[in-house]
Amino acid sequence: MVANNQKGLQQLTDNLDKVTREFGMKINAKKTTVMCISRNGNNGLNIYVDGPKVEQASQFRYLGSLITEDGYCTKDILSRIEMTKKVFKKNRYCLLVK
């Protein structure tokens, strides 16, 4: 879910929690994380799911891309370079063995 502010995110979370309960399910606060993306600095979020506070992440990987709270892609680029190096070294060793 994406929202412009903490209040909007809390409302979305509450609505999702309400809908999931109608189907006999519930959001697991221990497995849920939130993240505030801002270039102005770290903004702490206080999002709650049925009582417990949801953990705030500083980064996460989504569809192969590393998303960070500062909004920059430097860490994503460096992680992709590192993954490419590992694959290249592995394939180079396989070519030498054959």
pLDDT surpasses 70 at 72: yes
- Residue 73 phi, psi dihedral angles, 5° rounding: -110, 10
Please state the pTM of the whole predicted model.
0.68
Taking only the tens place, the pLDDT of each residue in 33-53 is 888 888 776 678 889 998 889
Say which residue the tokens 């460096």 belong to: 78
